[in-house]
A and B are shown apart, each in its own frame.
Chain A
Amino acid sequence: AQSVTQLDSHVSVSEGTPVLLRCNYSSSYSPSLFWYVQHPNKGLQLLLKYTSAATLVKGINGFEAEFKKSETSFHLTKPSAHMSDAAEYFCVVSDWAGTYKYIFGTGTRLKVLA
């Protein structure tokens, strides 16, 4: 069965320092993986997605993620955090289960300190 585990429920970083949000998944097939961001009282916005092409995926606002099949990981990184990055981030796996289903992680809340 597919599942997604976001290893940290909260992450705090100082402005200008790197961001690392961790995501592990399990899948029976070759999944697609996504990262979404949710700012307060807003819907979810796509940051980036992996669909079996290049394993290093670049997204919006300087974020990127690397698909590592051997580690079943899809961690999200950014070299330098900005105050506007403060939000909740969701890792999502899309996998075959009769139809394609989207499975969401429980989210990581990123706090950026001035």
Chain B
Amino acid sequence: NAGVTQTPKFQVLKTGQSMTLQCAQDMNHNSMYWYRQDPGMGLRLIYYSASEGTTDKGEVPNGYNVSRLNKREFSLRLESAAPSQTSVYFCASSEGQDSSGNTIYFGEGSWLTVV
């Protein structure tokens, strides 16, 4: 009963390095999301993919890129990491964006530190 799986769980990067966070869901969901969580700020949307083949910017997209590889997978890339990108990253998915009542399901989180 995997749900949403994201890797890696922990990562330390040096400023300027690049890395990709991987995410996969096994619920046949259409929509997928990447959020970042910072103390006192709740969750902020970085990018989302309403359906396979589409991606859109969220609230805080600068410094990130995404790829919706197929219906199951949605990756987040940091091209040149900065200390301001130190955060906890959550991947999530939902059945779709055709209804406001669709539940959003979360992965366990990826703790990223940029030094």
Contact = CB atoms under 8 A, between A and B. Distances in A.
A92 B33 CA distance: 15
Interface of B: prevailing SS: loop
B34 to A, nearest CB: 13
B42 A105 contact: yes
Interface in A92-106: 92, 94-96, 99-102, 104-106
Contacts of A42: 108-109
A34 B103 contact: yes
Interface residues of A, number: 29
A32 B104 CA distance: 12
B109 A104 contact: no
A53 to B, nearest CB: 9
Interface in B35-53: 35, 40-45, 50
A43 B107 contact: yes
A102 B41 contact: no
Contact of B90 (A32, A34, A44, A105): A44
Contacts of A96: 100
Interface in B91-115: 97-109
Interface in A62-114: 90, 92, 94-96, 99-102, 104-107
19 contacts: A30-B100, A32-B100, A42-B108, A43-B4, A43-B107, A44-B43, A45-B106, A90-B42, A92-B104, A94-B100, A94-B102, A99-B50, A99-B97, A100-B100, A100-B102, A101-B45, A102-B33, A104-B43, A106-B41
Interface of A: 9, 29-32, 34, 36, 41-46, 49, 51-52, 90, 92, 94-96, 99-102, 104-107
Interface of B: 4, 33, 35, 40-45, 50, 90, 97-109
